[in-house]
Amino acid sequence: MKLPRGMTLIELLTVTAIASLVAAVAIPGYRIYLIRSQRSEAQLALLQLQAAQEKYYLQYNLYTNDVTGSSTATTPGLGLPGVTETGKYDIAVTTLGAGAQSYTATASPHADGGQADDLQCAGFTITDRGERGINGSSTSELCWK
pLDDT tens-place string over residues 17-45: 999 999 999 988 888 888 888 899 999 99
Which domains does the chain show, CATH number per domain? 9-143 (3.30.700)
Q: How far is residue 38 from each of residues 89, 90, 95, 144, measured CA to CA in Å?
A: 10, 13, 27, 12
> pTM of the entire structure?
0.78
Give me the pLDDT at residue 17, please. Answer: 96
Residue ranges for the chain with pLDDT beneath 70: none
Nearest of 133, 130, 131 to residue 108 by alpha carbon: 133
Pairing of strands 102-109, 123-127: antiparallel
Give me the pLDDT at residue 97, please. Answer: 84
* Spatial separation of the C-alpha atoms in residues 90 and 105, rounded to whole Å: 11
